[in-house]
Structures are given as structure tokens and as C-alpha cells.
Amino acid sequence: MKTVALPRRLPAGLNRMPRNYLPVLVTGALFIAMFTAGGIRYEGFATGQIILNVFIDNAFLLVVAVGMTFVILTGGIDLSVGSVVALTTMIAASLLPSTPSFLVILLVLAIGGVLGAAMGAIIHYFEIQPFIVTLAGMFLARGLCYTIGTDSIPISDPTFTAIAQTRIDLAPELWISPTVLIALAVVLVATYTLHYTRLGRNVYAVGGNEQSALLMGLPVARTKIAVYTISGLCSALGGLLLSFYMLSGYGLHAVGMELDAIAAVVIGGTLLTGGSGYLLGTVLGVLVLGLIQTVISFEGTLSSWWTKIVIGLLLLVFILLQRLIVTTGVSRER
């Protein structure tokens, strides 16, 4: 995964590299510092399994945050992700008793993608702010959840339970779940798409300056609709991972998850104005969020609401840091 951080123009840009990658490096340093501090303070904290557990518990958030990164890189925002995750678990849970599991998986992925594409099309062609359109999408998906049912539906499908219970042993005392592998695969595919394909270039270009991208002849419409489709797909996949993890469908799953995803992307150093950021940062952002929860559960006496306060403070620190980097960067260039 370190491949993401490899500078693509190393010889000419050595002196520029630290500034571009500084937010990612800071997030990485923070993660290591938190892990070290936890290892010193708590017994049994500094093991590889703790990090793997963070991955296992946050695999679905990781996938959703990857989709969110695409949207934010174009300068947009997607508030619908949490509801789409819930909708996915709900549809999967209600269809599974009567439908083969692979059909269900294909269907929910298609629903996520179509919903995302529809929102992207409205955002682009009717020029309504992404915030409002995806907010309506959020209400729509959450409303569909409640229409399907207001209670939690258990999942007992053999395929789903098999995936939920499988443990992949990496080494003695070290194991991961298949969901982690899926999440990491998504990260790799997304990294490849962002850095080595035309679509990835277009995403950065549209986020940098939509007007310029249009004048350069880049397919702005296709790119914008594509990123929302990707985000919808990732949300649906995240929803599947969550149903593997929870083995239930519920309209109240993943409430407020869009905030976690946005927070992870911001902590990972991606600028909300678009055009600048890396997927590695998002991965580290998710890990930092997960590690905060682990630390708080290890502390024992701290109540759960400290998680929110710490995440808020971290957001503040990172945004101030970004601000500092951006202003010093601009003055150096001019």
C-alpha cells in the first residue's frame, strides 16, 4: 500500500514532495504515535492483531471512504452514503431467504450504482449543489429502508454466514476476515484507477478547476457522473461488508456514517475544495478513527462520547495544518 505514496516525478519534484505528501505523512506519523503510546500505556495493546482488528471492524467504512474520496477529489460531497449502506443491508436481508445470494449481491450493487449515477446526473445537468441533491438521496434511501421494514431483519443465508465466520490465518495469533481482503482489493483498484487511468486524471482535473477541465476538452459530465456512481457502488459494497459483519439488515444501521467517511477523508489530507489528496491518506484516516475507538475501549473508564470529541479535535488540528500548508505553499510558488 505504500506504493500510493511513491512520488511519480521523483527527480524533478524532490523538493516539492514533502509539501504534497505532508498531510499524509502527518496522519501516518499520528497513527504510529497513537499506536506507540497505546502500546506503552496498555498491556497487550502493541500487537499486530490490534491493527488487524481495526481493519476488521472498519472494513466497510474503508470501502465507503474510498468512494467518498473520489467525490471529494472532484470538489463535490456525497451525504447519501450512510443511507445507501443501510438500504443495502435492508434489501439484502429481506431478499436473501428467497433469492440466491449472488443475485442479491449483484442487485444491491446495481441499485447503489444507479442511485449514484442518478444523483450525479442531476448534479451535473440541472446544476443543483451536490450537498442538496445527495441530501435528498439520503432521505430517499433512508425512507426506502423504513418502507421495507422498521425492524432489524436477521440474515441466516449460508454464503453470508460463511463469509462472516471465516478466519484467514496470516501467522500464529494473527488473523483477518475476508471482508478485509475485499476492502484492500477495493483500495488497490481505486488507487490504480486514480493514478494510472484517464478517469483518474480527469477526476483530479475536474477537482482542480472544472472550467479549465471543460475548456481542455475533458469529459466533465462523464467524470462527475462517474464519481457519484463509484461512490454509490462503494456504499453498496460497504453495505454488503456491513451485512457480513452484523449479519442483519436494519434501517438504523450506519446512521451518521457519512460524517465518519468525510472525517476520514479530511484527516487523510484530501482538500475539500477538490483536486488534491491521496487514497493512502484516506486509508490512514480510517485507521486513525478506528484506533481512537480501540484506545477508548482499552482505557475503559472513558465514555464513548469522548470518541466524538477527540475526532472533532483531530479534524480541527488537521484542517488548521492543511490551511498552514496551503498558504505557505502558495506563497512559495509565487
Partner 1 sequence: MKRLAWPAGILAALLLVNLIFTDHFFQIEIKEGHLYGSLIDIFRFGAPLILVALGMTLVIATKGIDLSVGSVVAISGAMACLQISTLEAQDSIGGVLGAIGVALALSIALGIGNGFLVAVIGIQPIIATLILMVAGRGLAQLITDGQIITINSDPYKLIGGGYWLTLPFGIIIVAVVLALIAFVTRRLALGLLIESVGGNAEASRLSGIRSHGLLIVVYAFCALCAGIAGLMISSNVSSADGNNAGLWIELDAILAVVIGGTSLAGGRFSLGGTVLGALIIQTLTTTIYSIGVPPETTLLFKALVVTIVCLLQSPAFRAKVFRSRRKPAPPTVPAGEKVTVRT
Binding footprint of partner 1 on the chain (CB under 8 A) = 77, 118, 122, 125-129, 131-133, 135-140, 142-144, 146-147, 150, 259, 262-263, 266, 272-273, 303-309, 311-313, 315-316, 319-320, 323
* Long-range Cβ contact pairs of 128-137 (< 8 A, separation 24 or more): 130/71, 130/76, 130/77, 130/78, 131/77, 131/79, 134/77, 134/78, 134/79, 134/80, 134/228, 135/79, 135/80, 137/79, 137/80, 137/83, 137/84
Q: Strand pairing partners for 176?
A: 168
Residue 185, judged by CB atoms within 10 A of its CB (0-12, 13-18, 19+), counts as: exposed
Q: Nearest distance from residue 104's CB to partner 1, in Å?
A: 22
Among 87, 95, 135, smallest CA distance to 111 is for 87
Q: Nearest distance from residue 128's CB to partner 1, in Å?
A: 5
CB-wise, 183 or 314, nearer to partner 1? 314
Q: Nearest distance from residue 132's CB to partner 1, in Å?
A: 6
Q: Strand pairing partners for 248?
A: 154
CB-wise, 107 or 259, nearer to partner 1? 259
Q: Nearest distance from residue 190's CB to partner 1, in Å?
A: 23
Task: Determine the residue type at 277.
Answer: G
Q: Nearest distance from residue 7's CB to partner 1, in Å?
A: 27
CB-wise, 62 or 87, nearer to partner 1? 87
Q: Nearest distance from residue 44's CB to partner 1, in Å?
A: 27
CA-to-CA dists, residue 7 to 20, 27, 142, 151, 154, angstroms: 10, 17, 41, 49, 46
Q: Nearest distance from residue 50's CB to partner 1, in Å?
A: 23
CB-wise, 3 or 327, nearer to partner 1? 327
CB-wise, 35 or 318, nearer to partner 1? 318
Q: Nearest distance from residue 274's CB to partner 1, in Å?
A: 11
Report how far residue 174's alpha carbon sits from residue 168's, in angstroms, rounded to the nearest whole number: 9
CB-wise, 36 or 147, nearer to partner 1? 147
CB-wise, 17 or 136, nearer to partner 1? 136
All three cell numbers of 169:
490465518
SS3 169: strand
SS3 47: coil
CB-wise, 167 or 308, nearer to partner 1? 308
Report how far residue 307's alpha carbon sits from residue 256's, in angstroms, rounded to the nearest whole number: 14
Number of neighbours of residue 158 by Cβ within 10 angstroms:
9
